Every structure is written in C-alpha cells, then in structure tokens.
C-alpha cells in the first residue's frame, strides 16, 4: 500500500496496520539450541507473551547480528527501539557459510509507528547494509502487537564474503 507522502494523521490507523504484516504476539519464538542467544529476559526457552519484561538490555556485539541491529536502530531513531532479543544460528552449504538472525525490537515511543517509520520498515528488505565480511542475503520485517506494546521482528540471513 502506498501512502504518497501523506501525514500520519491523514491515514486511518487500520490502513497503516494493513501496510505491513502485523499480528498479535502469540508467545512463539525461535527454537532454542545451536545458536548464539542474547535475551533481555535471560531465559533460553521460547519467547513468551511477557517477552522483554526484564529491564536488562540486550548487549549488541560486533557480530553480524549486533551490527545489523545497530544499523536498523539508526534508520529508525524516532521510534526509540530497544533490542529485547537477538538470536543467531550458524549455517553452511557446499558453497556458502553464514548465519540466520532473529532480532526483536520493542518500540519505546508512545503511539503507533508513523507513516515514515512504516516506509523505512517496509524498505528494510531492500536496504544495502554495511557489515564487514558479510552480505545480508535476505531480510523480513513484521510488526507484532503485544497488548499495548509494539514490537518489530526482524529475520535476516547473512552470508560470509571475502
């Protein structure tokens, strides 16, 4: 759905929600095992409805997931996003190696994502991220609604290069 530069207040909330995949958080998360995990709630198990209830922040390392998260945060400064989950699982094929990443960001600002923020989130899949020795081969973003909270879920596949 194209917004043609209209101000956020000119677009009904339902239309804004329909622009991107938005769903209720159902307590489903990554399957544990094998990968590097950093969680705000400290639990190694599947994410639940109270995801991110702890005040302990997720530490962003210099790995591809940390670098990707920092770049996404820079693209959406007004949303005041806070990382509450970062999970990476290594993978390899006969010709490539890399990692699958799941990143969950909580919106800290009051209200819904603005029209401009929706546009940025929608464009993340085509954005050229700059991550040393890695290429973002695939990226999907969706907005989750968990009660009064809005979460941005990012799934990405990075491939090692060079």
> Is 38 among the domain residues?
no
> Is 32 among the domain residues?
no
Residue 103: give the domain boundaries: 8-23+58-160
Written as tens digits, the pLDDT of the chain (162 aa) is 333 333 333 434 444 444 455 555 544 443 333 444 443 433 333 333 345 444 455 666 778 999 999 999 999 999 999 999 999 999 999 999 999 999 999 998 777 889 999 999 999 999 999 999 999 999 999 999 888 889 999 999 999 997
> Is 50 among the domain residues?
no
User: What pLDDT, on the 0 to 100 scale, is given for residue 91?
Assistant: 92
> Is 42 among the domain residues?
no
Q: Are 36 and 63 in contact (CB under 8 A)?
A: yes
Our count of domains for the chain comes to: 1
pTM of the model: 0.67
User: What pLDDT, on the 0 to 100 scale, is given for residue 111?
Assistant: 79
> Is 97 among the domain residues?
yes
> Is 87 among the domain residues?
yes
Q: State the sign of the Cα–Cα–Cα–Cα dihedral 147, 75, 125, 8.
A: positive
Which position has the token pair 């997931």? Answer: 65
> Is 112 among the domain residues?
yes
> Is 48 among the domain residues?
no
CATH number at residue 149: 3.30.2000
């Amino acid at each position: 759905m194209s917004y043609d530069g209209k101000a956020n207040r000119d677009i009904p909330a339902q239309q804004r929600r329909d622009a991107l995949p938005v769903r209720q958080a159902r307590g489903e998360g990554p399957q544990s095992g094998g990968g590097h995990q950093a969680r705000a709630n400290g639990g190694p198990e599947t994410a639940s409805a109270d995801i991110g209830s702890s005040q302990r922040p997720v530490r962003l390392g210099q790995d591809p997931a940390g670098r990707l998260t920092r770049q996404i945060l820079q693209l959406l400064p007004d949303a005041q996003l806070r990382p509450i989950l970062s999970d990476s699982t290594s993978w390899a094929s006969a010709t490539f190696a890399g990692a699958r990443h799941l990143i969950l960001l909580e919106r800290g600002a009051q209200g819904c994502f603005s029209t401009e923020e929706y546009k940025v989130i929608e464009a993340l899949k085509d954005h050229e991220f700059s991550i040393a020795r890695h290429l973002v081969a695939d990226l999907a973003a969706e907005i989750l609604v968990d009660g009064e909270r809005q979460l941005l879920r990012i799934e990405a596949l990075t491939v090692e290069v060079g």
